[in-house]
Amino acid sequence: MSGPMKFHYLGQSGLRVSELCLGTMTFGEDWGWGASKEECHAIFNSYVERGGNFIDTANGYTNGTSERIVGGLIGSDRDRFVLATKYSFPTVRGDPNSGGNHRKSMVRSLEGSLKRLGTDYVDLFWLHAWDFSTGVEEVMRALDDLVRSGKVLYVGVSDTPAWIVSRANMLAELRGWSPFVALQIEYSLIERTPERDLLPMARSLGMIVTPWAVLGAGVLTGKYNNAPPATKNGGTSGVPVERRLDATNSQKVNDRNLAIARVVVEVAKQIGASPSQVALAWLRTRPGSIVPILGARRLDQIRDNLGCLDVTIPGEHLRRLDEASKIDLGFPHTFLQNPVSSDRLYGGLYSRMAQHREP
């Protein structure tokens, strides 16, 4: 085992966060599949013992139970941790203002989170998902007000198109408001589409990236490659409940993704690691500041995931993983990277440029 975790800066800020983040959507059994309070304690301790200090939750995770458990775990040692929570999804069904990106939802959600977490501030406050109805100006001004109040130290954005994030940060820069310093997205060997716009944007703006669903809803562990097919009514015969496909996972289980998982499993065997460790180690090789979010329901899962810190994937295996999971970047990327386009843009002198800037 290597030493404790290293640290990244939280985007353009000076705040230091560990190179792996502990995700707590699994903390609590309210949704029928999460971890018990005792198991959460063991998971948390394992993460902290390895040097982790970055905890991610949300106002709605397991109906608020996740925040309550997290608050109890960090307790009197709260200032040691970089604590992140989110707002946007409703907490009261049937109330049109319980969710959304607007100021009322933002303020009320934060107040509820602070109570459940047992703290008077959060280090990072995420906009959870863009609602396409609240103006960018309202969102950024309201977030800046929370920062100025001291209840929030930094702000981040999750599950939002690149053009909106870019506009928001430019507006914040021009108005002297708090910009988004962090971006949370789905990203894995299964889901590489953020490489089109979101990840280049994050590098350009100096944002840290915290990917979720890093194991492709479990597909990259290889557990579905040998699972019996689902029955017509959606059930599976003879498969334990933890391996049955729910509505989210079933979207990920297709021929392409199972083929990627097979390559991950083969590489894992060849380098003496688990498939989960290979999937996470691949993420950690990607350009920019990438801090994967680890989610676990059992102690053995978090221990296995933390083992990615000890895994180095040789170049030939990295190339094999990249080839198996590559995507078409699409227009305008393929057009602009075409040698003919480059030659015309540089007046026929592209090959004579001493330095080519990264696209």
Residue 164: how many other CB atoms lie within 10 Å: 15
The per-residue b/e assignment along 264-293, b for 16 or more CB within 10 angstroms, e otherwise, is bbbbbeeeebbbbbbbbbbbbebeebbbbb
DSSP state of 219: G
Measured at the CA of 73, the angle between CA 14 and CA 184, to 5 degrees, comes to 45
Omega prior to 332 cis, within 30 of 0: yes
- The letter for the amino acid at 233 is N
Q: How many Å apart are CA 326 and CA 316, to the nearest integer?
A: 15
Catalytic pick among 47, 61, 154, 224: 61
Sign of CA dihedral 298, 309, 294, 267: negative
**C-alpha 147: how far from chain center:** 23
Q: Name residue 211's beta-bridge partners.
A: 185
Q: Cβ–Cβ contacts within 10 Å for residue 192, how many?
A: 17
DSSP string, 244-296: S--HHHHHH-SHHHHHHHHHHHHHHHHHT--HHHHHHHHHTTSSS-B-PEE--
What share of residues in the chain are helix, strand, coil (percent, to 5)? 45, 15, 40
- Is 61 one of the catalytic residues? yes
Longest CA span, the chain: 66
- Give me the active site residues, please: 61
